[in-house]
Structure 1
Amino acid sequence: MNNVLRIIGASVLACSLNTSWAAESVTLGVSIPTATHSFTSGIVWWANKAKQDLEKAHPDLKVIVKTAANAPEQANQLQDLLTVNKMNTLVIFPFESATLTKPVAQVKDKGVYVTVVDRGLTDTKAQDAYVAGDNTAFGKLPAEYLAKTMGGKGDLVVLRGIPTTLDNERFDAFSAVIKQHPEMKILDAKYGNWNRDDAFKVMQDYLTRYKHIDAVWAADDDMAVGVLKAIDQAKRDDIKIVFGGAGAKGAIKTLMDGNDPRIQANVSYSPKFIYDAIKLTAEARLAGKDLPAKTIIPSVLITKDNAKDFYFPDSPF
C-alpha cells in the first residue's frame, strides 16, 4: 500500500492546475455515513484520524467531519458545510449514488473542489476526483475463486450491498465470470444493505425458497455474519462456501485459524482509503494542485496463506 501511495503522490504532483489558484488556507469538509456497521465504523475512525494528523501537520488546514444516517441527512449537511462552515474543498463518501449526485453537483457549482470516495456518483461531472478500492476486482476475484474451487459447477446465491455505482461494478464483474461457466447458476441476488440483520433476513428467504445451495457470495464480511447465522439456525449443511469481502479482522482471524470450513477466502478492501483520500486532497489543494481524475487502490485475494498480512487486530474494522 505504501508503494501505491508513493505512486499516487507522484502523480498528484504532476497534476498541477493550469491556473494560478492556490489557497492561503483550506477548509475541507468530510461527509461520510454514520458507523452503522464495522466497515463504516472503520470509515469514521480513519476520517477522524486524518483530521487529527493533517490539522497537526498543516496549520492552514481545517477539517470538518460530518456523519449522516441517510442520504437526505447527508444532502442537508452538504449545505451546512457550504454555508455555515464555508468549506472550499469536499471529500464525500456518498450514502447513495443517485440521491447524492445533484446535491454534490450543486456544491461543486459553488466553486468547491470535490473528491468522491468509493460510492461513485451517477454523473462524474459533479466531481473533480474519484478515489476508491478496485470494485471490479472485488467482484471478479471471488467469482474466479468460487469457479475454481467448485469445479465450474453449482448453484449460488448473492447478497448485494446498497444501490450504488460500486455495487453495480462488483456485481457486474462477479456475474461476468460466472457466465463463463455454464454449469454455475446464480439463483438470486438481493440487497442486504451491508448489514448483518438485513443479510440474515435475505438468507432466511433464500433458505426457504431453495432446498439446495452450494455457495454464497455475501460480498461483505458483516453480511457474511448474518448469512452464517441464518444457515446455522436452519441447520443446513449443503452450503460449503460463504465468501464475504473487505477483510474485516474477525473474518481474517477465522480464515487464519481455520475454525469454520465455509470461510475459505476473502478479498481486501480497507476503509483506510478515506484517510488516503482526505490526505491526498488536502495536500494537493494546499499546494494549489489537482488530484488525478481517478485513483484506484488495488484489491487482493486473501487466503489462509497470506491472511496474516491483512490482519490488523487494533483496527476498528
Structure 2
Amino acid sequence: MKRTVKPSFMILSLLMFIILSACATGANTQNTSAGSTDAAKKVRIGLTVPTLSNPFFVAMSKGAQEAASKFNAEVITVSADQDLAKQTAQIEDFITKKVDLILLSPFDSKGIAAAVAQAKAANIPVIAVDGFAEGGINTVVMSDNVMAGTLAGEYLAKRLNGKGQIVIMDGPPVSAVTDRIKGFEEVMKKYPEIKVISKQNGEGNREKALSVMENILQANKKIDAVFAINDPEGVGIKIAAEQAGRGGEFFIVGVDGAPDAVTALKEKKAFAATSAQFPNEMVVKAVELGLQIKEGKSIDSKVLIPVELITQENVEQYRGW
C-alpha cells in the first residue's frame, strides 16, 4: 500500500532545513569577517633615528623589522642625518600618513618638542627610544645610561688605581648622553686624584672625535685614559692616538657594544672596555608598549634596559648586536 505524507510534516521539515542552513551560513560569514578585520588592522609604525651611519641605529632598525614580524606591523624607518629640521619634517610626514605609532630616537631632546606636540594633537602615541624627548611623549624606552656611565667610570678608576689624568669626550645634547656623563662623573667624585684635563664634544661620531682628539693630544703630553660617550667616538680616539704614535699611552672606555668596538677589543690594544647596550631590544619593547597604549592600557613613564660591561677579557662571550 502506498503511504501518503501529511502536508504538515513536509512543511515542518522544510522549515527546519531553512533554519539550519541559515545558522551554518551565518557562522561562516562571521568567521570570514573576523579574518578580514584582523588583516585590515595591521599597525603602521614610523621610526626616525638620528643617523643610519651609526651601527647602533642600524641595529635599532633591525629591531624594528623584528618587531614588525612579531606583531604583524609595518615599520617605516627614516634617518634624520643629525638634522633637527629633518627629523621634525619626518614626524610631520608620519602624521600626514596617519601612522598608528611613532618611535622617536631624538637627535635633539628639546628641539623636537614641537613635532612631538603635533603628533600628540593628532592622537598618535609617541614613544621615545634611547633618549627622552620633550613635547608630551607617552613613554621612553632606553638603556640605563646612568648605569652605563657608572660601569665605565668604575672600570676606569680601578684600572688607574685611583689616580691619573683623563679626558672626557662628550656628545650631542640628548638625555642618553647627559645620563652617561652623570654616571661617570659621580664615580669620579670618589677619586680626587683622577684629574679631568679636557672635556670636549665629539658629537657622537668617529670623524669629529678623531679631529677633537688630535687637538687634545697636541695640548697634553700625558694622558692616562679617555671616556667616550659612545663607541664611534672611542674608535675615532683610538685612530687619533695611533696616528700620533701614542697608541700605547692610554686606554679608552666607551659605551654601546658596537661591532667596531668588539673588533677593537679583540685587538687587545688601546680600546679597553665598553658599556654595551641592546638597541634591538629597545625597539621591540617600544612597539610592545605602543600596542598596549593603543589598547587603552596604562604603562610606565620610563622603561630602562640594563647594560653590560664588555672588556678585552670577556668580549668572546658577548652576544653583540
Same fold? TM cut 0.5: yes
Q: CA deviation at 1:245?
A: 2.0
| Matching residue's letter, 1:159 | M
Q: Which residue of 2 aligns with 1:34?
A: 51
Bigger relative contact order, structure 1 or 2, given CA contacts below 8 A and separation 6+? Answer: 1
Q: Which residue of 2 aligns with 1:227?
A: 237
Asked whether the 8 Å contact 1:26–1:282 carries over to 2, the reply is: no
Q: CA deviation at 1:66?
A: 2.7
Q: CA deviation at 1:309?
A: 3.0
Asked whether the 8 Å contact 1:28–1:63 carries over to 2, the reply is: yes
Q: CA deviation at 1:116?
A: 0.8
Asked whether 1:114 is paired with 2:126, we answer: yes
Q: Secondary structure at the match of 2:221?
A: coil
Asked whether 1:48 is paired with 2:57, we answer: no
Q: Which residue of 2 aligns with 1:284?
A: 292
Asked whether 1:200 is paired with 2:217, we answer: no
Asked whether the 8 Å contact 2:127–2:140 carries over to 1, the reply is: yes
Q: CA deviation at 1:185?
A: 0.9
Q: Which residue of 2 aligns with 1:8?
A: none
Asked whether 1:164 is paired with 2:174, we answer: yes
- Residues 197-243 of structure 1, C-alpha deviation per residue, up to 9 Å, x if partnerless? 10100100100111111111123221111111111111125632111
Asked whether the 8 Å contact 2:141–2:286 carries over to 1, the reply is: no
Asked whether the 8 Å contact 1:75–1:103 carries over to 2, the reply is: yes
| Matching residue's letter, 2:121 | D
Asked whether the 8 Å contact 2:131–2:140 carries over to 1, the reply is: no
Q: CA deviation at 1:286?
A: 5.2
Structure 1 vs Structure 2 CA RMSD: 2.2
1:127 is aligned, of 131, 134, 137, to 137
Q: Which residue of 1 aligns with 2:4?
A: none
- TM score, norm. by length of structure 1: 0.81
Q: Secondary structure at the match of 2:271?
A: coil
Q: Which residue of 2 aligns with 1:17?
A: none
User: Whole-Å Cα distance in 2 between the matches of residues 249 and 64 of structure 1?
Assistant: 24
1:250 is aligned, of 248, 260, 268, to 260
Pick closer, same or farther for the CA change 1:27–1:213 going to 2, 3 Å. same
Q: Which residue of 1 aligns with 2:104?
A: 92
Q: Which residue of 1 aligns with 2:306?
A: 298
| Matching residue's letter, 2:79 | T
Pick closer, same or farther for the CA change 1:67–1:249 going to 2, 3 Å. closer
Q: CA deviation at 1:25?
A: 5.9
Q: Secondary structure at the match of 1:98?
A: coil
Q: Secondary structure at the match of 2:232?
A: helix
Which range is displaced more, 299-308 or 159-168? 299-308
User: Whole-Å Cα distance in 1 between the matches of residues 136 and 293 of structure 2?
Assistant: 18
Asked whether 1:77 is paired with 2:69, we answer: no
- Residues 87-120 of structure 1, C-alpha deviation per residue, up to 9 Å, x if partnerless? 2322111121111122112211222212111121
Provide structure 1 residue ranges, at least 5 long, that are not aligned to the other structure: 1-22
Provide structure 2 residue ranges, at least 5 long, that are not aligned to the other structure: 1-39
2:219 is aligned, of 209, 222, 235, to 209
Q: Which residue of 1 aligns with 2:17?
A: none
| Matching residue's letter, 2:109 | S
- TM score, norm. by length of structure 2: 0.80
Asked whether the 8 Å contact 1:213–1:238 carries over to 2, the reply is: no
User: Whole-Å Cα distance in 2 between the matches of residues 95 and 270 of structure 1?
Assistant: 19
Percent identity of paired positions between Structure 1 and Structure 2 = 30
Q: Secondary structure at the match of 2:152?
A: helix
Q: Secondary structure at the match of 2:197?
A: strand
Q: CA deviation at 1:307?
A: 2.1
Greater C-alpha radius of gyration: 2
Q: CA deviation at 1:170?
A: 0.9
Which range is displaced more, 203-212 or 286-295? 286-295
User: Whole-Å Cα distance in 2 between the matches of residues 97 and 282 of structure 1?
Assistant: 20
Aligned residues: 281
Q: Secondary structure at the match of 2:110?
A: helix
User: Whole-Å Cα distance in 2 between the matches of residues 248 and 86 of structure 1?
Assistant: 34
